[in-house]
Amino acid sequence: MSAPAAGPDRICAVILAAGEGRRLRPLTGLVPKALCPVGNVPLLDRALARVGALGFTGPAAVAVNACYLGRQVVTHVGDRAQLSVEPGDPLGTSGGIGRLRDWIDGRGVLVGNVDGYLAHPDLAPGPDIAALLDGWDGETVRLLGKRFTDPAARGGFDGHRFAGFSLLPWRYVSGLPATPGELVRTVWRPAEAAGALQVINFPGTYLDTGTPPDYLAANLHAAAGRSLVDPSATVTGPVDRSVVGAGAVVRGTLVRSVVWPGAQVPAGEQLTDAIRVGSDLTVSAS
């Protein structure tokens, strides 16, 4: 592989975790989207592990931005990454990168959206997105993309929809202001118009976990057609293709559902295509 060194001297990584997750409410009324668990692992930890497998670890090499319920994100990240806490409302994908310009300091940036769920059939997390770095010239904007299954589909980039990660040269990052904005308008489309955008096809599964149905789908994919039950959970009822978090108590029936850590499903209750939080919050994902 001819990728440039995945280190703080050439490239850094940023995980964007500041969003409100409005489409995922009421789940995100309790925790930020970044900390919603998929397969019993918070989305943020999945993203940090993916870039960590490529060598981006520690606050010199990887940063996380936070805003909505930001204190929870800050506490969760600790000293694992550089933290950028945005005041007021979230700055968006572009503003979040702009606010980190001094930290980025001339490097290229591997940017990951925290709500992207990726799974490659043959590669572990990290190597599955390494093609973004392979042979990069340091000048071209690269996007990870999932090819449209409908050839008549419009939008996207070169027949692909964005699949959660992009690679940005410093020449595009250096002028980004720390004001609200989105990378699709400030970087991706301008690079496309200039002939400086390259889409790297992702052959695996990609899901934007921003809605309850897609969030459930990501959990069920992580469970690989079986049930995924944390060892500390108490389960006495039948569980079919579901995910049960740490400390949860399930005495009822689960079918294609997610039970968050510490949540309860009492005897006599059946959840189907749903997410349970606590003892009484149920979010339908059908």
Total number of residues shown for the chain? 286
> What whole-number distance in Å separates Cα of residue 46 and Cα of residue 242?
19
Q: Where are the alpha helices (DSSP H) in 80-145?
A: 92-98, 101-104
Strand order of the sheet with strand 274-277? 228-229, 243-244, 258-259, 274-277, 281-284
Residue 158 pLDDT level (bands cut at 50, 70, 90): confident
Cα 110 to chain center, whole Å?
13
**For residue 50, which of 198, 165, 143 has the smallest C-alpha distance?**
165
pTM for this one?
0.92
Q: At residue 167, does pLDDT exceed 70? A: yes
Provide the percentage of residues in the chain whose pLDDT is more than 90.
87
**For residue 196, which of 134, 130, 139 has the smallest C-alpha distance?**
139
Q: At residue 8, does pLDDT exceed 50? A: no
> What whole-number distance in Å separates Cα of residue 42 and Cα of residue 8?
25
Residue 35 pLDDT level (bands cut at 50, 70, 90): very high
Q: Which of the 8 DSSP states describes residue 157?
A: B
> What whole-number distance in Å separates Cα of residue 113 and Cα of residue 198?
18
Residue 3 pLDDT level (bands cut at 50, 70, 90): very low
Report which of residues 147 and 253 the model is more confident about.
Answer: 253
Residue 1 pLDDT level (bands cut at 50, 70, 90): very low
Q: What phi-psi label fits residue 66: left (phi over 0), alpha (psi between -120 and 50 degrees) or beta?
A: beta
Lowest mean pLDDT among 18-22, 83-87, 199-203, 264-268: 18-22
pLDDT of residue 159: 87
Residue 9 pLDDT level (bands cut at 50, 70, 90): low
pLDDT of residue 155: 73
Residue 152 pLDDT level (bands cut at 50, 70, 90): low
If you average pLDDT over residues 179-203, what whole number do you get? 96
**For residue 163, which of 137, 199, 127, 215 has the smallest C-alpha distance?**
199
